[in-house]
Every structure is written in C-alpha cells, then in structure tokens.
Structure 1
C-alpha cells in the first residue's frame, strides 16, 4: 500500500487549498471547481486527517452523520472519483491517482502540510512560539500578525455535516488562542494604545474569556485609564456570576487587585532580547534571579474543579477559613489544616471547595497531589515522588533537580520561600508521608486529607485538625434538593428521607443516587428507594452494619442501571493498575472503537461511577476501584480477564514504540512481537508530541511494567522500559528508569528469556550510569556482553561493548575505554551500521583528546563528522564538533577553534540541546581569552551564563567566576 509519505511529485506540490474561509483549491494559478457542498466536505475530511487514512465509514459519518442515505457508499465513491478528476485533470485513464489515494477500506490525500492555508497558519504559529521562547517578541508578534491574515471569514463556510461543524468550532477556538497570544505580545511590546479598540470589541464578543479581559485591563491601565480597567473587570465578573455562577479565576482577580493598588510593576518596560551575535555586547545579568531558575518560574494551578452543586459544611468551612488572617494579610506561619474522616465522607470535596474559596490569597500557585494512602490497587505515593511532581509543576528543569531525596526537599522548600502557595495533599496515609511536603517558611497554606487522624502533624507541626462526620439530615436533604429540585423531594418526602437513610448521609453515596434520579426523571423516588432496599444484603462482604455496606449498595444499584456495555466497561476498569486512564487506553482495555468507548465513559461519568479528570482522561475513586475489581472477578472468566489485561499492555507497549523513533531517532530498534490485529496504538508526528504523551502516561507506563511482570507478560515487562529509556533520560526520571529496568530484567530472567536478559542488562546499565552508579553499570554491561556473545547477536554485543567503553571513560579507565570502543567500532563497520559507527568514532576521538593524542583525536573526530552527517545525526554532530573545537583550542589553533565551536553551537540549537549551547559558549569564551579578545569573551560568557542559569546548571558558577575575573582585569576594557 502506498502512503502519502512515499509519493511526491510536481502535481501535489502545485496544488493549494484554503479552509480558513470558504473551501477553495487552486492548481498553479487556476482555481478549481470543487463541486457540491457534500463533495467539498469529502475533501475537507481528507485534508483534516493530514495524509492519514480515512475509512469509508468515517467519511459517511463526517458528511451525513447518523442518517446517511441508502446509497451513501456509492455516492461517496462518486464524490471521490469527481475530486480525482478535478485535482488531477491530466491523469491518463488506467494510471493510479497521485493525490487522492485508495488505501485499505478508505482514502488518504497526498499533499504537503504547506499546501493548505491551515498548515501555513499552524507553521507560523509554531515558529512564533519558538521566537517568543527565544526572547524575540517583536519577530513573534510580526509573524502572528501575518498568520492571522490567512483567515478569510468563517472557516469551512457553507459546508454541511458533523465533521465540518466540529472543525469550525475547533478552528474558531484555535484562531482565538493565536489572537490572544498576538495581543499579549503586542501589549508586552508597548502597543497598548493600539490594541485597545480591538480588545474592547473582543471582550464584548467573548465576555466569558478571562484572558481577553485581563489583556484589556492591562492595556487600559498602561494607557493611563485605570478607572476603565476596573470597570472592565466588574463587567466580566458580573457576567461570570450571572451566567455561570462562578467568580473570576485567580489570575484575573490578581490583575484587578494590582490595578486597584496602582502596582508600579504593571508599567510598561522596554522589550529585551538576547542577541544571537557572539561578538555583539550583551547586557545580561551576572546574578541569578531570586527564584534561582529564570526571571519567572511557573505558577501552577493544579486544583481539581470545584463541585458546582456543593452544599452544606458551613461550620467546617468557617472553622478552616478562620485559620487565615481576616484582613487577607500575609500569614505569619505555615498554616496546616488536616481534614480527616472515614472513606467517602467528602474530605476531598470539602478540601477542594475550601481551596477554591481561598485560592486568590495565594497568588504564587496551587499544588495538588493524590498521595493514594489508602488506594487498594495503586501503590502509595512516596514523599520523593510527590516532591518530584511538585518540582515538575514549577517547571524546574530536570538537569537542575539533584539526585538525593534530602536535596530535592531542600530545593522544593527553597522554591516556596517568600512565596504564597496553596498546597492540597489528598489521601495521606500518615505523618511521615506528609512532613517532607510541608514548606519551611511562612506564608503558605497546606490542606491535608486523610482517613487517619494525623496526630503527629498536630503535635509536632502545629496542624489544626478538622474531623468530618456524615452530613446532617438537613444538609443531606439540601444536597438532594440542589441536584433534583425541591419540588421532587416535596412530592415524596418519605421516599426522600429513605434515600438519605440508605446513603448513610455520605456525600459520595448521595451523589450517585442523585445522578440516577436526575438521569431518569420519570422514575419515582419510591422506586429508586425500593431498588436500594433490594440491593441491601446482596453484597455479603460488606454485611454487618458497617457504613461501607450502604455505599456498596448504592454502587450496586447504580451499576445495575447501566447499559450492558457500560457495565462491562466499568468492571474492566478494575483491571487497570495505573492511577488514571485515557480514552484510547480504555478502548484497548475493553476491545472497542474509541467512538463507542467514549459514549460508555460518558455514561459512567454521568452516573458518577467515574471521574473525568480532564477531557479524555478518567479515574476511579478508591472505593469504586475496589467495587470494579470485585465485579470483574464475578462477571468475567479468568481467560477474559487475562485477554483484557493483554490488550491494554500491548497498547501501552506499541504506543511507546511509536514514540521511540521520535524521541530516539535512528537508534537500534527494540524487537517486538507482531502487533495484534486488535491493537490500535497512537501515532505521533513530532518529537514534542511523543514526549508529551510519555509525560502524561508516565505513572501508567511504570505501573504497566510491574503489571506485565506480575501477570505473565515478561516480554512486555522488559521491552517497555527499553523503549522508554530516551524519555526517562531527557526528562530526568532516573528513579523510574532504574525501577522499571530492574523489574523488566527480573521478569526476563524468570522466564529464561536470554534476549530479554541481555536487553535488560543493557537498559539497566544505562540507567545506573546516569544515576552515578558506575560500578554496577559496568557489571551489568559485562553480563550483557556475555549473553549477546552466547546468542551470537553481533550488533547487540557491539553496542554493549561500545557502551562499556563509554562508561570506562567516566570511571577514568581510559585504556579500557579505548580498547572497548575500538572493538565496538570494528564490529559496527563489519555490520555496516554507520549510525553506530559515527557514535563510536566520536567517543574514540574524545578519549584520544583526553589522552593528549591529538592527531588521532582529529582523525577520529573528522571521520565521525562525515559519518554523522551522512546519517543526519545533528545531536552527536554537535557533541563531536565541540570535542574537535577543544582539540584546536588545546593546540592553540584559536581561529579554527572559534569556527568549530560556532558550528557546534549551531548544531546544538538545531536539536534544542540547551546544555550543549551553554557549555559550548563557555568554551568559546575561553578561546577568545586565549587569543587576546576579552570583549568577545565577555559576550560569549554572558550568553553562556544566561543559558546555564535557565536550568541552574553547576557550570553557571564557573562562568560567573570567569566574568568576575575578567571584570577585575584592568586591561580587559582596553582591548
């Protein structure tokens, strides 16, 4: 089968399409007649998939929805045939089409991204984002102005069908996002007067978009119109309160407060940027910002959504809020509120509601984590993992995070010093789990929920306990009334009281009852109460009057009201070992298409049997997880359970494999078993997409490795961590890397899978090397070499031998390093593996220069560059150029060193290697000094410092010392 990536030619290159307005197409300079609206809808559906297959069924759904005509498929094929004639007017009869291609049970379109105005728009927005991140605000703004000019009115104007409707909404939202970004840049660049009319019109058109209001207020204030800025806030607040019943978000409230106080820091300041020229002077600070990270660190806003129907708990809320100063001043201590109580009592709901009520008093961010202290399936979250999650929330670069737990705690507390942050620690097990997460300086609020009374926090840390009891009868009645309406409860008062009694006045149980009653307005409350009576006693494990008996009765009644497919979806979720699950993963678990699975998940969320954490991502409450696990063992055979787990694990494995070529391009592939026909992994088009997926799924992927090892899937257990090594390395998740690699290796050893053992030793050695355990890394590599030799796997043995040489470099054993790298290099050449050959040559050149064998070093490094460039390996090319520059520098060939370092710097920029850029700029400064060019050295070192300080790399201190020495030199300003 041909794919879009395999076919190219002048025909597809000469076609242009417009979708950001009426749908149009041109061939060269001639506009094409695309036919009827339905035929245009076929074209747009193919364009929207960007060169990927669209099945006939998907096309029918996109054009006609749920009521297609009887001859829909025949009509569809007619539309495709006509489009081919229009788009390829010169194609001879009998020759295959080159634009609209047939593939399996559908079609795909073969055009470059730049052939559509949408593709050009998105490319310009991405480039603008890159320019903005690099400090080029003016260039980014100009590019966004140009990008927005691509729009010619309503996108896909006049097109029928569900897909066109959904795409119009998506594109409209995309344009607004880009427009907001452009306006933000314009205000940043001092164009506040110019954008006020545009922002005024936009805030009127979109009164609920708080970002637009915030920009409008800032533009007005910077233009000397403080009163109008405050009036704009009041209009937006009134709209939010009247239409949605909510207050403005923390960011907008903060802007209002700062304008009200005439905050001088809101005044416009000159735009600044770091010059790309290494010779030009750079006016950069020589000290880190107070945060120690970058000029501004992230302000996380991690609180889960507040419950719109929250009611009751007035006394508890009052008691908790009384802990804070009444005048909104800075708290003089760390305020700790511990909310404890039995399961399902509503601790988390109350804590989240309380947090939202006071969040505006903590403008530096809100942190949230579920510590899983009582999770029956997922493991408890250790303090170290929680600390790392919070450092990630503050966007601390992985390079800055120290290895030791105590050092990570110290860094976390340093970030919180002099900041006002709200921290919600949910489901804590004990005091030891919480104490490392407490700030070390005043001004923050910590809310902890737990089933246990955390007396250690009360006695030792001054925490204020708040124990929850079941709702009062009055609050429980109000709870139901708010969800079902007072009229329905008044009509059946006795049944209403019976429902409250069966719920044991637990908020979770009441919510499930209310959801069922609301979803079935024709059901009487008496009928629902009768169902609850019939369910009671059928769950023998919870008999005996315990409060959980009533909760399980409610679960059972809700579960029995589900459709058969939704009930199966629910109990199969009990087999998932991770903390949450995505829509595609859930579809794999249940073995259904995503479209059908999405409907089932929506049914579960409506019944409050499943929480949607954010769009397309779901989680079970801990009690519901237990219930689901019990149901799956009752309703599915062991064989069916095993198949479901296998489907899920295969999906994680093959989706991880799809990230591999983006995160670690052209690396040696991990051997996989053939993909099952029912496995439909995700596909990725960019490095960033692949990394984002791994980041989102990290906890689930780690859990999947352990589940695979425990459930008889050793092949998945060792392959998953082997596929994820690049992600773990780039994001600094060394503990996860070591943990999963050990688990995979153990699984392979138990299964006597020698190939898996070799790969496991190789993977674990890399993880141990990064973690600093060089001796163990060497030991595992030696075992890998032995097993690959036994298996006759020459490439595997060569990789292990070459890696062993790399580890010997770090251990200072240069002789062994040379021996092993040369052995690996010889095998790579015999096998014709030029990618690995380039890596080995680069490593060998580095060793030679460390041994002062400069002629051999230059020879190896130049050979490496030839091979690396043939393989387009820019990552290692940058490293190799840096090593070659060092050789030139040490030989006093300063002009050659400067030229080579500049080339290395360009390569590092191409691949986004920030450490490589900072390190190379530092070396370049050294060369300038050695060649008598102190001004150029100052510029280079200042640029290096700016890069290295961005992630607080230790080399930043060395650069600061060099700059200080240069400043103190009387002759430095004379040259």
Structure 2
C-alpha cells in the first residue's frame, strides 16, 4: 500500500481498511505498528536505535514511504503506457509499440501475487485490466504497422483466457483479414457472437460489428476485372522538360527493382511555382502500372488563399468514395473512417498523391499505410520529420533545361534565332520554372515578338518583378492569355466559359457543384455543366469528385478581378441565397421535429431532398463550403448579401449542435452577432445570441452561455417573439441544469412550458418537460420527475420525435437508478442507447453510456460497467467535452474500484 502510494501519506485508517476491509480484528492498530516496525528494519537494517527512520516515516496521522515512484514497477508500467498513448496520438506507431513492449516486459505473473486484503484485490483487478488493455493496444499497433501476422498468437491467447472481452475478437478478426484469412476471421466473429449470447445474453458491440463489416466487404469484393479502379490523376503536362535526375530517383522509390514494395512516403518539397505538382503528376503517370488498384489524388489546399483546408474527415470520406465505398457506408466518425480506410488498403497496391500539403500535421493521418501502398506528397514545407519519409527538394532549372522548356513552349527556331537573348532571358528568369512558363506564354501569345523584345521589357527591374514574380501578378499574365482566347472566341461555349470563370472568382469556397454554379450564372444546368467542362479542357479549372469543380489556387486569384464591380452583387446574392435555402431544406428534412430558423426571408431557390439520409449526407459533404460561403457573405459590404450569409449560418444551428462542432459554433456565433449588430437587425442578433450561447454551452463555459441566452431572451421579449421567448427560457434552463442550478433551471423550464402550450409549440413543450424532469432529479423530487418524463415521453412518441424519445428514455433510466430500481433502469437505458445512436446528437449517446455504466456497476457487473464507461470516455474525448470526459472518467474509475463517485 505504501509503495503504490509512494511519496504520499497513507493514513492509519486507510491501512487498516485496505488490509482487513470492513471487519478488522481488535488488534488491527497494533498489527499495523508491528508491520511498520518490520518494514523499517527491512529497509534500514543498519539504522541506530534512536536514529529517525528515513524510508518509512510518520506524517500527518499516517505513514509515508520515501521512494521515487519510478522505483515501483507498477508506476513504471503506467508511465510507459502513458508514453505509448502520447506516441500513438502523435502518429508514432513504432514508438508506441516500443513503449508498450517495455511496459509489458515488467510483468512476472499476477500483480501483488499472494498479497491478501481488499486493497490488494482492487489493485490486482486494476492492474490486470490495464495489462489487458496494453496487450490490445500492442496488437492494434501491430495491425496499423502492417504486421498482422505478429499479432495473431497473442490475440488467440487473449480470447482463450478472456472470452468475454470483445476487443480481442475484433482485433483478431482484423489481423486475420490483414493476412488474407477472411474465412477464419468470420469464424472468429461467430465464436464471439455465440459466447456473448450464451454467457451475457448480449449481441456483439459496435466494434465487432464494424470489423465484421470490413471482413465481409473484402470477402464480397468482386474479382479485379470487374472492379472500378480509381484513376484520379490530373492530366500530364505535354510541355515537361528536365528533372531527369529527380524523375529517376522518384521512380526508383515508387517502382523499385526486383519486385520490392514501393517506399511508403515520398515527398517533393520546394518553393511555390518550382514545378512540384507537375513533377509529381508526371512520375505518378509513369509508375501507375505498379499500382493496379488505382491512383487517388487530393489537393490539400495548403496554399490556397481565402479557402479553408479540407478536414481530415473530409479527406478520408473522399478517399473511401474514391475506392468504391458507397456514401451510405462511409462512417460519420473520423476515427472510424480512418480505420475503414486502412482496412480497405490491406493487400492492395494503390498510389495516393497528396498535392499542396500545408505541413506534416496535415498529412500525418494518411501516411500510415500497409506495404504495397505508396503516398506521394508535394509541399512548400519540409516534411522530412515524417516516419519513413524520403524527401526530394526541387531546385531551379539548369540553363539547358530552361532552354529546352522555352523551345517547347515557343518553338526551337524562334529560340535559336537569338541564343544570346535566350540566355539573357533565362538569367532574368533565374531558372524559375513558373517565371519561364509565364515568359513562354507571353511569347506564344505574341508571335510577332522576338525573344529579345521580351528580354528588353524585362531588363527594367520594376517591370521584371511585375511580370515574373512567382505569385499573383506573374500567373495573371499567363492566365490572361488563356482567358482572353476564350472571351474573344466566336464560339458560344467559349464565351460562356469565360463568363463563368469570372463569376467563379466571386466565391471564396473550396469547390462548386453544377447546382451552385447554376445559381451563380443564372443560366441552365446543362449550359453551366458544358461551360465547366470547357474550362477544364482549357486547364483553367480542375474536376474533383463527380459534379464538383475547383480552380487552381492561382487561377482563383486571377479570376477574382475579371468581373466589373457593378456586376458582382446580383450573382453573389443568388448563390449565397441558394446555399441558404438549400441548407434550410437539408436541415428541415434531416430532422423535421426541430424548429429551424428560416430568417431572413430570401428571394432565392435552393435544392430539395427526398429523405433524411440524403439531406444529412449533403450537409456533411457541403459543410466546409457552406461555412466558407457564410463567412464570406457576412463580411460583404452589401447588406443583402451579408443578411443572406447569416441565413446560412442560422440554418446550420441544429446540424452543428448535433455533430458537436464546438469551435465552429462559437466562431460562427461571433460572426453572426457582429453581423446582426452591423446591420442593425435585431432578429439576426437575437438568433446569434442563441447560436453563440450553444457553442459556449458545448465548450462548458456555463457563465458565458447564460449571458448570451439572457441576451436572446431580452431581445425576444423586446420583439414580442413568443416562440423565441419560450426557446430562450428552455435553453437557459438546460444550461443552468448543467451548472447544477436546478431550482433556477426548473423555473425557466416551467416558464417555457407555459408559453409553449400557449402558442402550441410541440417541440418547445417536449423540451420543457425534459428539463423539468432532469431538474426534479437534481432536486431529489423523484416522483415529480417521473410524472414529467412520462408525460414528455408520451408526447415525443406521439410526434415521432426520435431525438426526444431517446433523451426522455435516458432521463427515465437515470431516475430509475435514483429510485434503486436497477433492473428496470438497465432495460430502459439499453433501449435508449440503440435509439440514441440513430440520432445526430452525440451528447445523448455519451449520456446514455455513462448512465449504463453506472447501472451495471451498481448491479455488481463490473465487466460491462467498465466496457460502457470506456466507450463513453472514448466518445467524450472525440467530442472534446470536458463535462462528459470528467463523468466518463469518474465512472470508469469507480467501475475499476479505484474510487467511489456519486453520479
């Protein structure tokens, strides 16, 4: 006991309780004194009689063992596991595996073997649980490192000795799948399903079901000739010269001799415009036969101005769809999407090109791939610190390469006509590929110019910087030629394409769909799609996923100045209105039982949706674009555009709350509030208070949340808006409840119900009854809680409101726990969990998991209690919720016997 609490005081009563429990012998105190004396003799055999002890000393009513915690193997074990967790979080799987191995090497059999008493029993159980989780973490690391075979023996041993733990079955299935042994993996699932059913009466959990789906997907995959192979590489440049040494090096890494696997991570770095992307695409085309399962391409937009970078989840979603995963099968959770991506890569040979990476952190989630798959990255930053990274820095072109480049661009005869001027032009361009390409484009666009004519223009340093700087102005010169050719063409499609490119320059969004571009142009979808494809043919636009288009970063800057100022407002207003109306339609369709904000009224058309899954998928796919459009519009000087942008933000309220977008809700709430104040629009300001307050609520800033909910209430009363008045009362009640201000929460909930019944707001009355029930639980008025929750549950059932049905069930389970009706509580909460997982509200699911863990713990079923508390902990960590993280952690520790809590 003293060693496990080294350098901390252990009281006499704690020692007695730890050694003998609730029934110590009469001699317990004297026995402790005797044991302490024996320890002192053992630790310090040479201590003189009157010399004070230095190792075991008396302190503050207890005893203290002065020992460095790292001298205790149990503490070293925990420290190693913590280090492994940090390495795993940082993406260092080799480091995590090494730390885990060192932790497990400390074990020599059962912990505290032969030591009696309640303390030793609890510690044995805790340490054994930690050991099992470490073994599972080790196996998981081996799988992620494509060492599935190495994990098999230990996993078989785990399920033999611990047949009721689900995680070893899940890992064993994935390991067998990674070894190509699909039939054995399915046999393991059946064994797990049968064992869990017979011993516990439960079905396999989510992790096992997910692993089963991965194996089935691989098993049911059609043979190679019938599969759709992704071929997403952009077109190879016709004018590509030089880079011979770099090309040979890259080919040797991606297509090595003797059939060896390709290098897993290859990076091309260098300054902007040096030709990184062109070289990457060229080499990717050259080695594509080495990757028969396909080639995927993603622009990470690391240097894209005015457009946010795609999130890791967006990239995983796109990659999964790229390899044939149906949209309905793409997990909503980032970690699950990452796991499915890694699973789908097993035994595959695929090339992934990640273009324009901002830094190592952006690509880290995607570079841990099985052998046989390679990742080729371009970036302006050094990524040499990445695991297994081979980095190639791209330098400027030699004089010979630059001459060859100009010859291909403008013709060898033209270049050879005055080699002296050509050499001078190359020196003025400093061998920089982008500058040379701009110079070549200028000469190609002006066939009457000699090379010397352009050189003379570039001799003036002020003109040279304007013409050749590898940035906005330099590219503007070359792109202008392409755009002018379209704009001046007699072909109708060319003129339409030029006009559309000018319009696209108005939007600061990651990409556009045909629908959005149709709203922007005001023409027919068919004409817009033809114009988009014409821009792709002219290399002024790039096609992404089917139906999605985006301009190159530099084209975006170029196109921003093409449209006269007086022509910009109408098309921008149409497009922002389209986004707002479509967002409203998606929000209403995905959850018709919520009341969605339809302010302000907009004269615009949006798209419709036939089902909730379709609407939800659209919101997830378009989230980045919608937020970018909202922020851009709200910053626009035109009041109508700013107001339409606020309409997008307000329509995202329920979606962001359900998806637990804490940071997004706060930043969007701040911008909405500033926009409402700027426009003098009290309705937007009122709604912004609610949006901002909800983000602060999710963050756990109760005081800040209440301040903005009170602002919402104040403006609702000022405007005579009874619906928003009752809504503000409800939100205040919910926030006060989280702050343990149950009496005040009850007052606001009752006030909400009065108004909700007065104006016949079913959603408002249901929420009010939910908070009344929760507040009464907090106040110990359990019978009142039961009545409120039963009434609200009946209303939710009548309305078919799935979210409230789940929330009422969780609350009813909680009150049953307080009443001591444990079996009834367990039944209600088990049903609530399945229902909560069909909603988009992660808070409901984590709440249900915490209360389920408590129910199992109170029933003495510590295995299930630990399982559900750990699941709650994982979800709370993903959500980033300090509130639920604290409760899940407390419940887990209580389930493991480390401390007692009151939920």
Structural mapping, 1:426-505, within 5 Å: 426-427=355-356, 447-450=376-379, 454=382, 463-467=391-395, 469=397, 472=401, 476=405, 494=413
Provide the alpha-carbon RMSD of the alignment: 5.8
SS where residue 449 of structure 1 aligns? Answer: strand
**Matched residue SS, 1:770:** helix
CA distance in structure 2 between the aligned counterparts of 1:435 and 1:942, rounded to whole angstroms: 32
Residue 574 (structure 2) aligned to one of 630, 634, 647: 647
Confirm or deny that 1:669 pairs with 2:669. no
Whether the 8 Å CA contact 1:764–1:777 is kept in 2: the answer is: yes
Distance verdict in 2 for CA 1:906–1:572, change over 3 Å:
closer
Per-residue deviation, residues 325-360 of structure 1 (Å, max 9, x unmatched): 76676899x8563332453x5422322444576789
Indicate if the aligned counterparts of 1:366 and 1:423 stay in contact, CA closer than 8 A.
yes
Question: Structure 1 residues 365 and 557 mapped into 2: Cα distance closer, same or farther (>3 Å)?
Answer: closer
Q: Deviations over 1:86-111 (max 9, x none)?
A: xxxxxxxxxxxxxxxxxxxxxxxxxx
Contact (CA 8 Å) 1:809, 1:817: kept in 2 or not? yes
Q: Does residue 602 of structure 1 match 2:533? A: yes
For 2:612, which of 684, 687, 693 is the aligned residue?
687
- Contact preservation (8 Å) 2:414, 2:450: no
Q: How does 1:476-875 map to 2 (within 5 A)?
A: 476=405, 494=413, 529=447, 544=467, 548=475, 549-550=477-478, 552-561=480-489, 563-632=494-563, 636=564, 638-676=565-603, 679-711=604-636, 712=638, 713-875=641-803
The Cα of 1:696 is off from its aligned counterpart by 2.3
Q: Distance in 2 between matches of 1:961 and 1:359?
A: 52
How far 1:956 sits from its partner (Å)? 8.3
**Against the structure 1 CA distance between its residues 393 and 940, is the aligned structure 2 distance closer, same or farther, given a 3 Å change threshold?**
farther
- After TM superposition, the score normalised by the length of structure 1 is 0.56
Q: Distance in 2 between matches of 1:591 and 1:441?
A: 45
Query: Residues 916, 435 of structure 1: CA spacing in aligned structure 2 closer, same or farther, 3 A cutoff?
Result: closer
Taking structure 1 as reference, are residues 922 and 368 closer, same or farther at Cα in structure 2, changes over 3 Å only?
same
**CA separation in 2, counterparts of 1:583 and 1:512?**
31
Q: Where does structure 1 lack aligned partners over 5 or more consecutive residues?
A: 1-257, 403-408, 481-488, 516-524, 967-975
Give the Cα separation in 1 of the matches to 2:282 and 2:556.
24
Q: Give the Cα separation in 2 of the matches to 1:286 and 1:349.
A: 47
CA contact (8 A) 2:826 2:852 kept: yes
Aligned to 2:70: none
Structure 2 residue 280 is the aligned partner of structure 1 residue 351: yes
> Which range moves more in the overlay, 766-775 or 644-653?
766-775
Provide closer, same or farther for how the CA distance between residues 874 and 379 of structure 1 changes in structure 2, counting only shifts above 3 A.
closer
User: Cα offset for 1:612?
Assistant: 1.2
SS of 1:467's partner is: coil
| Conserved? CA contact 2:267–2:389, under 8 Å | no
- Report the TM-score, using the length of structure 2 for normalisation: 0.60
Superimposed CA distance per residue, residues 350-389 of structure 1 (whole angstroms, 9 cap, x where no aligned partner): 22444576789999999965454543x42464xxx65565
Taking the aligned partners of 2:701 and 2:859, their CA distance within structure 1 comes to: 40
Question: SS of 2:356's equivalent?
Answer: strand
Displacement of 1:466 in angstroms is 2.2
Q: Counterpart of 2:610 in 1: which secondary structure? A: coil
Separation in 2, partners of 1:691, 1:946: 25
* 1:279 and 1:939 in contact (8 A); partners too: no
Note if contact 2:850-2:869 (Cα within 8 Å) is conserved in structure 1. yes
Q: State how far apart, in whole Å, the 1-side matches of 2:204 and 2:596 are.
A: 45
Deviations 1:718-752 (A, max 9, x none): 22111112222333433233222211211111111
User: What is the CA–CA distance in structure 1 between the aligned matches of 2:198 and 2:865, rounded to whole Å?
Assistant: 8
Cα 1:386–1:366 change in 2 (3 A) is: farther
Q: Which structure 2 segments of 5+ residues have no match?
A: 1-175, 219-228, 321-329, 879-884, 899-903
CA distance in 2, matches of 1:267, 1:314: 48
Higher relative contact order, structure no. (Cα contacts within 8 Å, ≥ 6 residues apart): 1
Q: How does 1:198-213 map to 2 (within 5 A)?
A: none
Tell me if the contact between 1:801 and 1:821 (Cα under 8 Å) persists in the aligned partners.
Answer: yes
Aligned partners of 2:297 and 2:354 also within 8 Å: yes
Q: Whole-Å Cα distance in 1 between the matches of residues 888 and 207 of structure 2?
A: 9
Distance (whole Å) between structure 1 residues aligned to residue 354 and residue 840 of structure 2:
35
SS at the partner of 2:606? coil
Measured in 1, the distance between the counterparts of 2:870 and 2:245 equals 54
Confirm or deny: 8 A CA contact 1:368 1:423 kept in the other structure. Answer: yes
Aligned 8 A contact 2:753 2:768 in 1: yes
1:469 shift after superposition: 3.3
Shift of 1:581: 0.9
Distance 1:730 1:753 in 2: 27
In structure 2, do the counterparts of structure 1 residues 760 and 960 end up closer, same or farther at CA, with 3 Å as the change threshold? closer
Contact 2:237/2:282 (8 A) holds in 1: no
